[in-house]
Amino acid sequence: MKKITLGALDYGLAFGVDRTLRSLLQEGRLSAVGCLVASELWPREFKPLKDLADELGERAEIGLTLALSGDHVTPVSQRMREVYGDQFPARSKLERLAMMRLLPDEMLIEEICQQVSAFTSRMDRLPRIVALREGLLDRSEMVRLVLTALDSLDLKQKPWLVAPSVFESAEKRFLRMARKAGYPALRWGPPVPEIADREELFARLRHHFDFMDEDVFVATLAGEADDRLRRQEPLQKVAIRECQGEVLGSDRFFRLLDERDIFLN
């Protein structure tokens, strides 16, 4: 039997996404969720997830998706808001600063710590997994900052860190740095195919997990269309989210996992 972590990293993005992820968690079709505590919906959407997490216990990995760039999220720390207002810097800007080793370390570490606090204070638990939005952990300087921030919090249990979707050399560097600091890590596996046709997605999933190792994170975009999501994303991506949500929640997918001897970790 092969153990795979099938998860989503965008809880808090939209009501339709959040409903779908909670449903999949409850049905055992999803093993992990990363929460966007920097999203507008987090103060409203944490409670139903907390209630579900209390019910599921060890059967669900509830964690945190750190945001230091990108849209639909707002800085949590006062210092970050004073510098950038209600928007994070673009990923490209942080990448350039990381390459030149000119990142504002103290400000970013404070923001990371505040996001962890925003998770623990609402969920009354430590994050079981931690990821960084937009694949920024492909930069060693960003890995260093995340590790420094987490170490400063002296967490009783170190979370699993999710590797970025990057080239093999960067992944190896990330895994080496994480493990040296004492953090368990999940490699990034091929995500659920971004297909809007249900039959085609089923066909692709039949052999999707065949050549994966254990301890990999397989990401899904599962969700349900709502007004907020339609405003935020292209219709094609919304259709992909709905297709993935329906397929992963189906009995047919459950039987497929059993046939392929896959266990959702």
Mean pLDDT by 10 residues, the chain (265 residues): 94 98 96 98 98 94 97 96 95 95 97 98 98 95 98 97 84 94 96 97 94 91 97 97 98 93 88
CATH topology of domain 2-264: TIM Barrel (3.20.20)
Q: Say which DSSP state 138 is in.
A: G
pTM for this prediction: 0.96
How many Cβ atoms sit within 10 Å of the Cβ of residue 89? 18
pLDDT (0 to 100) of residue 167: 72
pLDDT (0 to 100) of residue 265: 81
The residue ranges of every structural domain in the chain are: 2-264
> Sign of the C-alpha dihedral, residues 253, 20, 197, 221?
negative
pLDDT (0 to 100) of residue 166: 67
Q: Cα dihedral angle (20, 57, 263, 213), rounded to 10 degrees?
A: 100
d(CA 123, CA 242) in angstroms, rounded, equals 27
pLDDT (0 to 100) of residue 7: 98
d(CA 133, CA 29) in angstroms, rounded, equals 23
How many Cβ atoms sit within 10 Å of the Cβ of residue 127? 25
